[in-house]
Amino acid sequence: MSEIPIRCTGVATVLLKRIENEYRVLLLKRATAVLRDAWCYIGGGIEKDESAWEAALREIKEETGITKVTLYTSNKFDQIYSPQENYIYIAPVFVGFVEDQQDVN
């Protein structure tokens, strides 16, 4: 019996900000070769000796400049199968609430 390996080397984060009594989702337009011009949530790799939640906070800051965020786990995972390399990539998904006074760049 053959098994398909699972790799977890990154995180994904959905950011929400309350504006005029409703929550808005922050999406970023990708500029990389993968998913170029697609609107996506925040994501990135986990660095050496970094936990998943620390990677999520770092990626938020790197991609948006946002530093004031309350982060929660969502109990959901991004799951993608790579037919070329025959593995399943999973990433924990976090939900972040941006504070009212925090500007979004």
pLDDT (tens, 9 = 90+) of the chain, 105 residues, equals 889 999 999 999 999 998 888 999 999 988 877 778 889 999 999 999 999 999 999 999 999 999 999 999 999 999 999 999 999 999 999 999 998 777 776
pTM exceeds cut of 0.95: no
Q: What pLDDT is recorded for position 35?
A: 75
**Structural domain of 80:** 6-98
Tokens of 69: 């965020």
46 contacts: CB under 8 Å, gap ≥ 6: 8, 9, 10, 11, 52, 55
- Residue 19, pLDDT score: 85
Query: Do the domain assignments include residue 48?
Result: yes
Flag whether 59 is in a domain.
yes
Q: Does 79 reside within a domain?
A: yes
User: In the chain, how many domains are there?
Assistant: 1
Q: What is the predicted pLDDT for the residue at 101?
A: 76
Which residues, 6 or more positions from 69, have their beta carbon under 8 angstroms from its beta carbon? 15, 57, 60, 96, 97, 98, 99, 102
Residue 38 three-state SS: coil
The CA distance from 56 to 4, in Å, is: 26
> Does a structural domain hold residue 105?
no
Q: Which CATH number goes with the domain that contains 86?
A: 3.90.79.10
| Cα 27 to Cα 16: distance, rounded to the nearest angstrom | 10
